Structure 1
């Protein structure tokens, strides 16, 4: 079924969707640096309608800082902070939220314009409308995640962190998939589309366990490679009961799974790259190159004990790798 009606403005629709993809990509990276710098709990309230403007006066800053000073994070961890220190962590979280609000407008207004001008099919209008609903749900989920750290133990739930990242990546992937599919011209013929969705699925799953690892501060332990402090399988990795909880809660097992998933992902991508060597596309070549680079970044992140810049680059690499995987998947669809 066609995604757009006869004689549609292909270029304007594609550009709009790619711009929105850029916003989501940037938000994921901004959220990552916010987490790495431990800035995410600096705003202890959520005002989606009235919270657009930052504090601009001394009294406004004092009010926001007073609210933060009553939070568990300040009382237990950041009691040494003055107002200037607080401002440094506030701005990252504020910009992350502001970008989400701007994205909502950048996405919704053109969507309404294209829909009411009958330039989109019903199918695509519904699909993009559901993406907007998912985006709104993502905002709620973001606050739900932050709220988990505004309790007696000032630490964000790694489950909610993984859900927040997962939904963002899912929205990004669907949007990118649609945008690439709107390119004009005939698709190339590939030897086989078999397994074309595997890289995207594997990268996504690896990213989810990376989020579990980040939420548990898993980069601070087992900082050796390829073995984990001399072990292939880390000790005490099945210590929780029931056993299934170890998959998500045990730092050693979570890191081990992230390593294994990353290894499987790279292996599958290189296998596909080799299998289709007679007719490699640009997307497949980029996918293979980025996969190897991202694996190396992952190793460097572990060895550096998750140094902020390296860990942030690793998250950016994951998003680039996922983008390449979605690109490859979309171009093999007939």
Structure 2
């Protein structure tokens, strides 16, 4: 029998259902859908090199963009002080109109983050006051709120890592933390929504357990997502426009002068290689999960297969097209959907009535 990791920490959740779990489930799934959109917009922001266009973090007043030419010029002048402008966009001849384009994507990305905070925090307060939250779920819902706050904080640390005369981009480590926190939050929202939906259907149903198989698949997928974030942060997708070979060989030449560990975390050629081939290990793990899930809900099995199949095709297409914007954005968006499908499948095999 498969060993299971019990995430049950409160005996309250074993009691009879109360509150309005069905409504909470619909709300959490709606927030999860907006986070998928957020991940897509974040991909556009990254691929258009827009992430450093706003050099300050103003959580409240920053929601209002420049309203006149003087304000636009002041923002542009602040952008001119950082390395990205001085070494990349400035020498390329960036105009104020060009700057307005990249400003829009970073501003919209931050605005969407604020919007997610509102559509989570305000309904949470409403359901809390109305007594609609089932016993045992308040700590989990608060934890998801805290993850959202961390996501915004990590986003600013990511931006700040690139705001110097020496840097021309953000730290790929901070980028990975920012992205993976978003995906972890997405998975948490879906898992909690599924628990609540099941509670609405079966009063007294216990939350799903996180099984050993779910842990293994999640760790393998986590490594693939981490590698993908580092590839994005280092522009390593441009290391090769051919597949399956790189530089006419399976294993490309890469910088080993600082050791293999440094190369595996910094060298774009090695990271590109690792990301494209670890993907097949992830596929094997996901196939195992999908086959196990099929006995519970065939739709979830189809969702997992469809997500990783589309993701593989888009990954190869991203390489072949030289990281064409919309192909690469689709690759990141389907990655978020793959996380959602995996969370669904893991939840199914962990259910206990």
Deviation at 1:201, TM superposition (A): 3.4
Task: Give the structure 1 partner of residue 59 of structure 2.
Answer: 48
Q: Does 1:147 align with 2:155?
A: no
Give the aligned CA root-mean-square deviation in angstroms: 2.2
Q: After TM superposition, what 4+ stretches of structure 1 lie above 4 angstroms from structure 2?
A: 274-280
Task: Give the structure 2 partner of residue 204 of structure 1.
Answer: 222
Alpha carbons of structure 1 residues 279 and 31: separation in structure 2 relative to 1, 3 Å: closer
TM-score calculated relative to the size of structure 1: 0.91
Aligned residues: 328
The C-alpha deviation readout for 1:285-321, integer Å capped at 9, x for no partner, is 2211221221111111112221111111111111111
Contact 1:3 1:120 in 2 (8 A): no
Within the candidate set 246, 252, 255, 1:228 is matched to 246
Deviation at 1:275, TM superposition (A): 6.0
Q: Does 1:172 align with 2:186?
A: yes
Alpha carbons of structure 1 residues 7 and 13: separation in structure 2 relative to 1, 3 Å: same
Deviation at 1:29, TM superposition (A): 1.0
SS in 2 for 1:223: coil
Task: Give the structure 2 partner of residue 190 of structure 1.
Answer: none
Contact 1:4 1:119 in 2 (8 A): no
TM-score calculated relative to the size of structure 2: 0.86
Contact 1:173 1:326 in 2 (8 A): yes
Alpha carbons of structure 1 residues 70 and 5: separation in structure 2 relative to 1, 3 Å: farther
Within the candidate set 240, 247, 250, 2:264 is matched to 247
Deviation at 1:240, TM superposition (A): 4.0
Within the candidate set 85, 93, 96, 1:83 is matched to 96
Contact 2:76 2:99 in 1 (8 A): yes
Task: Give the structure 2 partner of residue 133 of structure 1.
Answer: 146
RCO higher in structure (CA 8 A, sep ≥6): 2
Contact 1:4 1:124 in 2 (8 A): no
Q: Distance in 2 between matches of 1:42 and 1:19?
A: 30
Deviation at 1:197, TM superposition (A): 4.4
Task: Give the structure 2 partner of residue 108 of structure 1.
Answer: 121
Deviation at 1:141, TM superposition (A): 1.0
Q: Distance in 2 between matches of 1:280 and 1:175?
A: 20
Unmatched segments (≥5 aa) in structure 1: 188-192
Q: Distance in 1 between matches of 2:177 and 2:326?
A: 23
Unmatched segments (≥5 aa) in structure 2: 1-10, 206-210
SS in 1 for 2:169: coil
